[in-house]
Amino acid sequence: MRFALSKIAHGLLLILGVTLISFTLMVWFGPDQTYSLVGKNATPEQIAEIRHELGYDQPFARRYGGYLAQLFTLNLGASNSSGEPVSQILKRTVPVTLALMIPGFVLGNLLGIALGLLSAQHKGRWIDRLVTGLSVTGMSISFLVIIIFLQVLLSTPYGLNLFPVRGWQVDDPGSYLRYVAVPTLSLVFVTLGYNTRFYRAVFVEESGRDHIRTARAFGASTATILWKHVLKNSMVPVLTRIMFSIPLVVISGSLLIESYFGIPGVGKVTFDAITSGDQPVLKAVVGLTAVAFVLIQILTDFIYKLVDPRIA
């Protein structure tokens, strides 16, 4: 019980920190929107009125408090550009982003684990060197390059022209597969190199432990050793990495993929908000991703207990 409470307290501090930074950067230092709302020939009284409405005349702490209150009551306001309530925007876009990013994320990690095990099994031999070489190559190619390349290769007449160039018209499983294919492939390509390297290192380290020698001394085959003993013992670092890569891969990745392929998810909405300076949307997204990330961290700690009996 105490464990859970300290975790929650820790999480709250994190959320506090994130919202403080986002508030300071975006609202406090952000553009003064008085004049865009008021027009050119405004009287001092009108200006003062607008400023009061926007809350510019209040001290930092007050405004920050107001921001926090907004977040926690999910009173997220409406988009500056479209006027659509932010909560509605999120309801509409979050499922799309999840449907888009999850296959690539999961596949990228599963393949990374499998390749990492394969490399560790044949450490030093040609398979290992090939996989490692390909990983380093993968790490040296920019995400943008991969996306452009795959799009040209798979979706244009200059290539195979199998998949749609952009958009998201998903009505049934068939069209889902067609629209999610190229983004998923890009995501896997980009993350596979990094994932494989990391997992390989974890598995190699775990393979050097005493109890692996014991397993071998009792006749366990290399496959059993890797897939049963090494893998299960590596679950803590593996899970940690998966959890901590979620903000980077899923959220930042969706930003790029959606804006590039024109897919109406959270990433695209955020991208539009960035370029147009749509504050309410940005505030909401930053705040909520922080909260989501904290929740993921707490969840991870509980999963550790399931996976590793040593964690009390």
Partner 1 sequence: MKHPVLSVRKLSVTRRQPDRASTVVDSVSFDLNQSEVLAVVGESGCGKTKTAEAVMGLLPCDTWDVQAESIELDGTNLAALSAAAMRKVRGRKISMIFQEPLTALDPVFTAGNQLCSVLCRHQGMTTKAARTSSMAMLERVGFAEPDHIMRSYPHQLSGGMRQRIMIAMAMACQPRVLIADEPTTALDVTTQAQVLRQLTRLGEEYGTSILLITHDLGVVAQYCDRAVVMRDGRTVEEAPVPKLFSEPQHEYTRQLLNATMGVRSA
Partner 2 sequence: MDPANRTWQRLRKDKAGFMGLVIVLAFFLIALGVWSGILGQGWSEAGGGRWEAPGKAHWFGTNLLGQDIFQRAVYSVRTAFEIGFVVSVLSTLLGAILGALAGWYSNTWADSTILWIKGVLDSIPFYLFVAAVAFALQGKPWAMHLAMIATFWTTTGRLVRAEVMKIKSREFILSARTIGLPDLLILFRHVLPNTLHILFIQSSIAFVAAIKTEVILSFLGLGVQDGVSWGLMLAESTQEVLAGHFNNFLAASLMLFVLLMGFNLLSDALQEAFDPQQAAL
Q: Which of residues 201-230 bind partner 1 (CB under 8 A)?
A: 209-211, 213-221, 229
Instruction: Kindly state the smallest distance separating residue 82's Cβ from partner 2, in Å.
Output: 18
Which option in partner 1, partner 2, none does residue 311 bind, with CB closer than 5 to 8 A by kind? none
Total of chain residues touching partner 1, rule CB under 8 A: 22
Q: Which of residues 89-128 bind partner 1 (CB under 8 A)?
A: 123-124
Closest CA to 298 of 47, 11, 15: 11
Q: Cβ of 162: how many Cβ atoms within 10 Å?
A: 11
DSSP state at residue 1: -
Per-residue contact track with partner 1, 56 to 95, x per CB under 8 A? ----------------------------------------
CA distances from 31 to 36, 242, 246, 278 (A): 10, 37, 31, 11
Closest CA to 131 of 141, 142, 121: 121
Instruction: Kindly state the smallest distance separating residue 203's Cβ from partner 2, in Å.
Output: 11
Which of 75, 232, 275, 302 lies at the binding interface for partner 1 (CB under 8 A)? Answer: 232
Q: Which of residues 166-225 bind partner 2 (CB under 8 A)?
A: 197, 200-201, 204
What is the 3 state secondary structure string of 134-155?
HHHHHHCCCHHHHHHHHHHHHH
Residue 79, CB half-sphere, CA atoms under 13 Å: how many? 18
What is the 3 state secondary structure string of 71-98?
HHCCCCCECCCCCCEHHHHHHHHHHHHH
Q: Provide the terminal-to-terminal Cα distance of the chain, rounded to the nearest Å.
A: 12
Instruction: Kindly state the smallest distance separating residue 128's Cβ from partner 1, in Å.
Output: 11
Contact (CB, 8 A) for 183 and 104: yes
Tell me which residues touch partner 1 (CB under 8 A): 123-124, 209-211, 213-221, 229, 232-233, 235, 307-310
Tell me which residues touch partner 2 (CB under 8 A): 13-14, 17-18, 21-22, 24-26, 28-31, 132, 136-137, 139-145, 148-149, 151-152, 156, 158, 165, 197, 200-201, 204, 244, 247-248, 251-252, 255-256, 259-260, 270-271, 274-275, 277, 282, 285-286, 289-290, 293-294
